[in-house]
């Protein structure tokens, strides 16, 4: 018995105030749709997953996802998704809003379980606030009456159906419908209500992004790592710092290119994963790393993080030296590190301080670097 997932992502979402439709908008280290897709990972009996998108949206999706082009209405988009899923002959389908990235697992499992007994099931929350009718007249809004809330529910998704029953219901739909429950009921199907959840919000308004992020961070794996490195000055005419060659009266001594900033950042990323330091992955005793460009180390740490499902949320590096002056090179360093890490430059910080002529950095015997990295797994 295979379970198909149909994610409706064709809407334009104008109320969310984002430049792009909200489902493609960044949220907590990924896109909204990435979090939504992750909700259905490893479900028992999971079959095909279809994302129905607008023809203008050509954003990449994971290889295992089937796509379909949406129609002018929600029900037309769902029909396009059902047609794309039909060749897989699934027995059940969950139809879910792309803009609901925080659905608790228990809600999804309850919908699936209810399909053992009913041809359709959907999560909803009983209305607990008092309901008023009000008129907006010029600039005032006045209460005109009270609405009885008993028996009223706020509908959520995923809405679950026996696949063939939903296909048949959609074949007979006559007018635009609010959702698939309305279409199923019009076709005479019983729809069971299972408990919804307050965290199962549909991102609609700009403030919803912050709330969704708070919910997601609550269950996220967030890692912080730090790194520290020192290299001494030697004869030379330039130093490598954070991927940039900076002219100087000395060079930096080291087994590799001695890029002290990049080493500290690399160690911070390894540290966040409890993966030791550069020396563990690139032993100084191994001659193949002699004089190696440090971007090899940094790229390795970033790839290890990605392979473990982490996004690099940010890195911050402080170089400690009297000279050379870092300020004129900081933005080039920021860009170089961002390119190696494959993240946007606004997630990379390079700054510098002197040590007030105190200590080994103050005596210009060498350069020290400190770094912090944050890794996030949705």
Return the number of the residue (68 or 241) whose C-beta is nearest Mg ion: 241
Does 170 help bind Mg ion (rule: CB under 5 A)? no
Q: Does 263 bind Mg ion (CB under 5 A)?
A: yes
Measure the CA–CA gap between 116 and 128, rounded to whole angstroms. Answer: 29
Tell the smallest beta-carbon distance from residue 15 to Mg ion (Å).
51
| Contact indicator for 323, 317 with CB cutoff of 8 Å | no
CB of 310: closest distance to Mg ion in angstroms?
Answer: 23
**What are the structure tokens assigned to 273, written together?**
């994963």
Stretch that binds Mg ion, among 132-140, 158-166, 263-271, 335-343 (CB under 5 A): 263-271
Site residues for Mg ion, 2-41, by CB under 5 A, read none
How far is residue 211's CA from residue 245's CA, in Å, rounded to a whole number?
43
**Residue 69 C-beta: closest distance to Mg ion, Å:** 52
Number of Cβ within 10 Å of residue 130's Cβ equals 9
| Dihedral sign of CA atoms 172, 177, 179, 183 in order | negative
Residue 159 vs 294, nearer CB to Mg ion? 294
Site string for Mg ion, 288-327 (x = CB under 5 A): ----------------------------------------
Stretch of 19-27, 140-148, 258-266, 317-325 lying at the interface with Mg ion (CB under 5 A): 258-266
> How far apart are alpha carbons 289 and 281 in whole angstroms?
11
Select 153 or 289, whichever has its Cβ closest to Mg ion. Answer: 289
Q: How far is the CB of 217 from Mg ion (least distance, A)?
A: 33
Comparing CB distances to Mg ion, the nearer of 17 and 284 is 284
* Residue facing Mg ion at closest CB distance: 263
> How near is the Cβ of 255 to Mg ion at its closest, in Å?
8
Among 76-84, 228-236, 337-345, 365-373, which window interacts with Mg ion (CB under 5 A)? 228-236
Q: Which stretch binds Mg ion (CB under 5 A): 65-73, 175-183, 225-233, 336-344?
A: 225-233
Write down the least CB distance from residue 105 to Mg ion, Å: 44
Interface with Mg ion: number of residues (CB under 5 A)? 2
Stretch that binds Mg ion, among 72-80, 94-102, 168-176, 261-269 (CB under 5 A): 261-269
Q: How far is the CB of 40 from Mg ion (least distance, A)?
A: 44
Q: Is 229 in the site for Mg ion (CB under 5 A)?
A: yes
286 burial (CB, 10 Å; 0-12 / 13-18 / 19+) is exposed
- Nearer to Mg ion among residue 79 and residue 231 (C-beta): 231
For the bound state, the minimum distance from the C-beta of residue 264 to Mg ion, rounded and expressed in Å, comes to 8
Tell me the closest approach of the beta carbon of residue 260 to Mg ion, in angstroms. Answer: 6
- The residues binding Mg ion (CB under 5 A) are 229, 263
């Amino acid at each position: 018995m295979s379970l198909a997932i149909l994610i409706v992502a064709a809407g334009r979402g104008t109320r969310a105030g984002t430049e792009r439709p909200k489902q493609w908008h960044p949220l907590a280290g990924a896109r909204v749709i990435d979090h939504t897709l992750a909700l259905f990972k490893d479900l028992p009996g999971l079959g095909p997953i279809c994302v129905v998108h607008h023809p203008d949206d050509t954003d990449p999706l994971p290889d295992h996802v089937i796509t379909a082009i949406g129609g002018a209405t929600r029900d037309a988009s769902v029909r396009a998704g059902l047609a794309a899923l039909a060749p897989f002959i699934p027995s059940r389908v969950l139809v879910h809003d792309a803009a609901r990235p925080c659905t608790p697992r228990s809600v999804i499992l309850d919908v699936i379980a209810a399909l053992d007994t009913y041809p359709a099931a959907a999560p909803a929350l009983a209305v607990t606030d008092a309901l008023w009718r009000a008129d907006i007249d010029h600039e005032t809004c006045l209460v005109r009456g009270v609405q009885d809330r008993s028996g009223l529910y706020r509908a959520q998704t995923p809405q679950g159906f026996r696949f063939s029953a939903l296909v048949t219901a959609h074949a007979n739909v006559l007018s635009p419908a609010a959702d698939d429950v309305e279409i199923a009921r019009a076709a005479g199907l019983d729809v069971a209500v299972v408990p919804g959840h307050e965290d199962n919000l549909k991102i609609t308004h700009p403030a919803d992004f912050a709330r969704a992020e708070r919910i997601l961070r609550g269950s996220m794996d967030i890692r912080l790592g730090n790194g520290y490195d020192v290299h001494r000055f030697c004869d030379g005419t330039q130093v490598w710092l954070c991927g940039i060659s900076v002219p100087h009266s000395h060079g930096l001594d080291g087994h590799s290119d001695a890029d002290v900033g990049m080493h500290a950042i690399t160690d911070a990323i390894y540290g966040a994963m409890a993966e030791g330091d550069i020396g563990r992955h690139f032993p100084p005793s191994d001659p193949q790393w002699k004089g190696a460009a440090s971007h090899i180390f940094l790229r390795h740490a970033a790839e290890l993080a990605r392979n473990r499902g982490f996004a690099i949320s940010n890195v911050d590096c402080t170089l400690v030296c009297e000279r050379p002056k870092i300020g004129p090179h900081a933005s080039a360093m920021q860009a170089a590190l961002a390119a190696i890490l494959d993240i946007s430059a606004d997630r990379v910080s390079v700054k510098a301080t002197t040590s007030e002529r105190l200590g080994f950095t103050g005596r210009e015997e060498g350069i020290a670097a400190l770094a912090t990295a944050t890794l996030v797994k949705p």
